[in-house]
Amino acid sequence: MATDFQPRVVGFLCNWCSYAGADMTGTSRIIYPPNIRILRVPCSGRVDPLFIVKAFREGADGVLISGCHPGDCHYAEGNYHTRRRLAVMQSLLEFVGIEPGRVRLTWVSASEGKQFAQIVREFTDTVKKLGPSKYPEGDQQINKSTNHKSANHK
């Protein structure tokens, strides 16, 4: 298996800092792995733990959450809530079979395009080393095939 494995990474980025940082990466033409699918959220504090579980249920191998640096959240404390929530959630994720390395929380400001690219590179490498996510097990897996739409679905 291994070397050809291309992980699917879902990135929840807050609108005000990290999404703008990712945009900066693009406008600066900095190359980073295409494995990430970005979802813009108003604030990292908006990332419900169920969003993370749902991402894995639907085929993600890793989830990256990125928000404004501590003290810079546009809703004052959203990123602090995220940090606390994720700390609590890590053990729950592990309990259901999602290794801690598959979920990462970072801070990226609107001017940190270069840092965003580096984070995506590192995280993609980490998830690549972990291999495909095994959550959920067996038949419960919704979307691990390359195309989740059935052929007779019209």
Q: Is residue 135 a contact point for ligand FES (CB under 6 A)?
A: no
Angle, vertex CA 41, rays to CA 26 and CA 21, nearest 5: 25
Q: Segment contacting ligand FES (CB under 6 A): 39-47, 51-59, 112-120, 124-132?
A: 39-47
The label of the residue with tokens 């807050």 reads 14
Q: Give the up-direction half-sphere exposure of residue 83: CA atoms within 13 A in the CB hemisphere.
A: 12
- For residues 11 to 30, the per-residue mask of contacts with ligand FES, x marking binding by CB under 6 A and - elsewhere, is ---x-xx-------------
* Least separation in angstroms between CB 4 and ligand FES: 35
Q: Is residue 133 a contact point for ligand FES (CB under 6 A)?
A: no
Residue 108, classed as helix, strand or coil, is coil
Q: Give the up-direction half-sphere exposure of residue 62: CA atoms within 13 A in the CB hemisphere.
A: 29
Q: How many CB atoms lie within 10 A of CB 112?
A: 22
Q: Is residue 86 a contact point for ligand FES (CB under 6 A)?
A: no
* Least separation in angstroms between CB 61 and ligand FES: 24
Q: Is residue 79 a contact point for ligand FES (CB under 6 A)?
A: yes
Q: Which is nearer to ligand FES, 52 or 61 (CB)?
A: 52
The whole-angstrom separation of Cα 120 and Cα 97 is 23
DSSP code of 58? T
Q: Is residue 115 a contact point for ligand FES (CB under 6 A)?
A: no
Chain positions contacting ligand FES, by CB under 6 A = 14, 16-17, 43-45, 67-68, 73-75, 78-79
